[in-house]
Amino acid sequence: MPLRHLLQHNRDWASQVERERPGFFTRLSHQQAPRYMWIGCSDSRVPANQITGLDPGEVFVHRNVANVVVHSDLNALSTLQYAVDMLRVQHVIVCGHYGCGGVQAALDNARIGLADNWIRHIQDVRDKHWPHLSKLGTDARLDRLCELNVIEQVLHVAHSTVMQDAWRRGQAVMLHGWVYGVHDGLIKDLGVSCQSLAELMQAYPAAIAACGVALPASQLPVLSSNLAPPAP
């Protein structure tokens, strides 16, 4: 059964856009020049363009289960590299969302199948912050882990060779960590915006403290450049 209603919606939408903004598609067909890259959850309730009011051509999108950035994920890293090196985006946004099924599965130790290995990355975040999370009730624990997962994924983006190289050559690319409320449609900024590892090191303690996690300085992560050995 062909999905006639979706194809009809598409034709209606395309003609409406062309009517309101003649030449829109012709202009876009020549090149895309988005200012933003979005790394978000695959969840159908969190469409990047719609919730930020952006048009086609304005945001370059990568989505996966629970907006995870893993250093060996060639899909995410290739997308990030294309966005930063070729499209020269000015902002990379990691956006999680409250009520994330992937984060919930991590908390529940749910056995789903292959995805368990993917969810394990979120369980690593859970375990890192467990002394704090374990003190919370069920709902607050899920909310805080949704937030902490975003903050930790921003760290991973910052540690990628793509961002390290971009910052080393002086390219202005800012990272951001956001979380979206599927219950109210609002985005919350988690306060980890940064344009360098040094800025992230400044922002990280305050950002996790806002999630209720107060780590002593000795337990804060060391953010090291991939391109130079740590200072002695």
Using an 8 Å Cβ cutoff, are 69 and 39 in contact?
Answer: yes
Does the annotation count 97 as an active-site position? Answer: yes
Looking only at the bridges linking them, the beta strands covering 174-180 and 187-189 are: antiparallel
Q: How far is the CB of 73 from Co ion (least distance, A)?
A: 16
Among 37, 39, 41, 173, binds Co ion (CB under 5 A): 41
- Shorter beta-carbon distance to Co ion: residue 43 or 152: 43
- Span from 52-60, 100-108, 115-123, 184-192 in contact with Co ion (CB under 5 A): 100-108
- Shorter beta-carbon distance to Co ion: residue 145 or 173: 145
- Shorter beta-carbon distance to Co ion: residue 41 or 145: 41
Does the annotation count 43 as an active-site position? Answer: yes
Does the annotation count 45 as an active-site position? Answer: yes
Using an 8 Å Cβ cutoff, are 107 and 141 in contact?
Answer: yes
Does the annotation count 120 as an active-site position? Answer: no
SS3 32: coil
What is the greatest pairwise CA distance in the chain?
65
Nearest to 66 by CA among 86, 87, 39: 39
- 95, 100, 146, 194: the catalytic one is 100
Does the annotation count 194 as an active-site position? Answer: no
Using an 8 Å Cβ cutoff, are 62 and 80 in contact?
Answer: yes
Q: Does 100 bind Co ion (CB under 5 A)?
A: yes
What residues are labeled active site? 41, 43, 45, 97, 100
